[in-house]
Chains A and B, each alone.
Chain A
Amino acid sequence: MIRSIRAEWLKIRRSRIVPVLAVLPVVSLLVGCINFYFNRTVLQNGWYSLWTQVSLFYGEFFLPVLIAICCAFVCRLEHNNRNWNMVLTSPLSVTSLFAAKLFIVGALILAAQTFFVLMYGASGRLFALPGGFPMEIVAWSLRGWFASLSIASLQLGLSIRIRSFAAPIGIGLCAVFLGLGMYVLKIGMLFPHSLLTIGMGVLSQKGLTPAENGAFLFMNGLFVLLFAVWSIRRMKNEDVVSS
């Protein structure tokens, strides 16, 4: 398993993924901060108001698409030059291959989330917002990261199956809207993309009760497992398409 993760890391270490990971949080934060600055008279809730401005588009639209890009990215090399044949004939189980890819995507998204929260903290200080940095934000970001894993599990399955780089990202974007609809219908716990909205406190900063937190963690775990089993079974039982 560790060797699989090392191999995945080796594949992406010179791929210049960092600018892709950094650009969206930076743009989201900049526009959110500009909007916050010009509407400070209306946005009176300090750190929380700033969070609503910077996280709305990032958490709702761009983070799911960023996850989809990362998943397509870690499968890109395998789809080129008949590399799937090479990978699947190596002495490596498909479970550890999938788990290693999921681990790498999880690490990349964790880096993006950390960067986003650090920039949020810095901009809050720059605006001299009253009170200290709210620790709920760290919890929301971690919950958002956990929800990202279930989206990543789904997207990885799609990216392994579909050779095109862009098609799984398009499907992921459609899923964003489905997730938004399910969140509005208050059945958000049943879909990974809505879980991200709930976890990151993007549309509601109410916070979750301990029972809701439990349900949130359980559903995420279930989705990660479900999509992982789906992908691993498919890789075990069906032939790969390579050219």
Chain B
Amino acid sequence: MKALSLEFFKIRRKKIRVMLLLFLAAEMIWASVSIGISISRSAANASWEALVFTIASMNGLFLPILSAIVVSRICDMEHKGSTWKMLMTTPIGRRQVYAAKYACANALIVYGILAQTLFIVVFGLLKQMSAPLPPALLARFAIGTLLATFAVTALQQWLSLAVRNQAFALCLGMVGGFVGTTSGLFPSAVRHLLIWSYYLDLSPAAYKYGDSSGSYVSGSLPAGLIVAALLMAVAFYVAGNIHVSRQEV
């Protein structure tokens, strides 16, 4: 807990929250325009499912890059300030520092996901969606996005701490964003191996194609994919923790 509060103390003037909100604001503006156009074309698109699906598909592009930036900023300050040696002389172990950084990064992203959920609620109420506010759907959306984020941040933290040069971590974030955006093109066997596609796969809303047209449907989160995302998060976290803890400072 002390290590976690220290992580927040270290980033207090880095304006990461402001950057996070600005970044998400760009996504929300894009989403608003896109959904607004979609509703003007067909009133059937004025549904919570359509709103959640649009945001979830945009998250495939935005959140991998955003996670890469947030994690990189939290990890890079130790590389830049050459503070690893100093940290090692404190009674806090490397594993605790690793856990604190992971918790700090995820707490920041959770803050972003909650802001997104709030946006969905406000936008949906303003646009007078056809159905009443569905708290269960929104909770499933937040949980699904969080699960994918846990694994992505674990992978990003591993790379950001293991390699001093943050260009590689950000490049991975960009590749992740690309995979997240285009994941719908891959066959499911390939898609389920790529964590960035889980932003869409763990969305409670989907677009089902019919014979002549399609429709937005909602459902529960697939249990198998939840387990897969959790396993990936644990695997990336443990592997990263072991690798970074054994690295020479």
Residues of chain A touching chain B, judged by Cβ–Cβ distance below 8 Å, are 15-17, 19-20, 23-24, 27-28, 31, 34-35, 38, 57, 61-62, 65-66, 69, 72-73, 76, 79-80, 163-167, 169-171, 173-174, 177-178, 180-181, 243
Contacts of B130 in A (CB 8 A): none
Q: How far is the CA of A17 from the CA of B166 in the complex (A)?
A: 11
* Pick from B61, B69, B80, B182: contact of A170, CB under 8 Å: B69
Please state if A72 and B80 are interface contacts (CB–CB under 8 Å): no
Q: How far is the CA of A19 from the CA of B76 in the complex (A)?
A: 20
Q: How far is the CA of A130 from the CA of B30 in the complex (A)?
A: 37
Known pairs A164-B76, A181-B29 / 20 extra A-B pairs, C-beta < 8 Å: A16-B165, A20-B167, A28-B178, A31-B182, A35-B182, A35-B185, A38-B185, A57-B182, A62-B178, A65-B65, A72-B166, A73-B167, A76-B165, A164-B73, A165-B170, A167-B69, A169-B170, A170-B23, A170-B66, A177-B29
Question: Interface extent on B, as a size class?
Answer: 20 to 34
Task: Evaluate whether A170 and B167 lie within 8 angstroms (CB atoms) in the complex, with A23-B175, A27-B175, A165-B72 already known.
Answer: no
* Pick from B30, B81, B174: contact of A65, CB under 8 Å: B174
* Pick from A57, A73, A80, A169: contact of B80, CB under 8 Å: A80
Interface on chain B toward A: helix, strand, loop, or mixed SS?
helix
Task: Evaluate whether A163 and B80 lie within 8 angstroms (CB atoms) in the complex, with A57-B178, A170-B19 already known.
Answer: yes
Task: Evaluate whether A72 and B167 lie within 8 angstroms (CB atoms) in the complex, with A166-B76, A170-B23 already known.
Answer: yes
Contacts of A23 in B (CB 8 A): 171, 175
Q: How far is the CA of A17 from the CA of B177 in the complex (A)?
A: 20
B14: Cβ under 8 A from any A Cβ: yes
Question: Which residue on chain A has the smallest CB distance to residue B27?
Answer: A177
Please state if A167 and B73 are interface contacts (CB–CB under 8 Å): yes
What are 6 A-B pairs at a CB distance below 8 A? Answer: A15-B165, A27-B179, A57-B181, A166-B73, A170-B23, A174-B23
Please state if A69 and B170 are interface contacts (CB–CB under 8 Å): yes
Please state if A69 and B80 are interface contacts (CB–CB under 8 Å): no
A8 to chain B, nearest CB (A): 16
Please state if A165 and B76 are interface contacts (CB–CB under 8 Å): yes
B111: Cβ under 8 A from any A Cβ: no
Contacts of A170 in B (CB 8 A): 19, 23, 66, 69
Contacts of A173 in B (CB 8 A): 23, 26, 65
* Pick from A72, A177, A181, A243: contact of B81, CB under 8 Å: A243
Contacts of B165 in A (CB 8 A): 15-16, 73, 76
* Pick from A24, A79, A243: contact of B175, CB under 8 Å: A24
Output the residue of B23, B68, B167 with the most chain A CB within 10 A: B167
Contacts of B166 in A (CB 8 A): 72, 76, 165-166
Question: Which residue on chain A has the smallest CB distance to residue B30?
Answer: A177
Q: How far is the CA of A180 from the CA of B30 in the complex (A)?
A: 10
Contacts of A66 in B (CB 8 A): 174
B168: Cβ under 8 A from any A Cβ: yes
Contacts of A178 in B (CB 8 A): 26
Q: How far is the CA of A61 from the CA of B68 in the complex (A)?
A: 15
Question: CB-defined interface of B149-170 with A at 8 Å, one 1/0 digit per residue?
Answer: 0000000000000000111101
Q: How far is the CA of A186 from the CA of B229 in the complex (A)?
A: 42
Please state if A177 and B174 are interface contacts (CB–CB under 8 Å): no
Question: Which residue on chain B has the smallest CB distance to residue A62?
Answer: B174
Contacts of B26 in A (CB 8 A): 173-174, 177-178
Task: Evaluate whether A167 and B171 lie within 8 angstroms (CB atoms) in the complex, with A15-B165, A57-B178 already known.
Answer: no
B22: Cβ under 8 A from any A Cβ: yes
Output the residue of A166, A167, A180 with the most chain B CB within 10 A: A166
Q: Which of B70-97 contact A (CB under 8 A)?
A: 72-73, 76, 80-81
Q: How far is the CA of A27 from the CA of B167 in the complex (A)?
A: 17
Q: How far is the CA of A23 from the CA of B175 in the complex (A)?
A: 8
A65 to chain B, nearest CB (A): 5
Q: Which of B11-32 contact A (CB under 8 A)?
A: 14, 19, 22-23, 26-27, 29-30
Question: Which residue on chain A has the smallest CB distance to residue B22?
Answer: A174
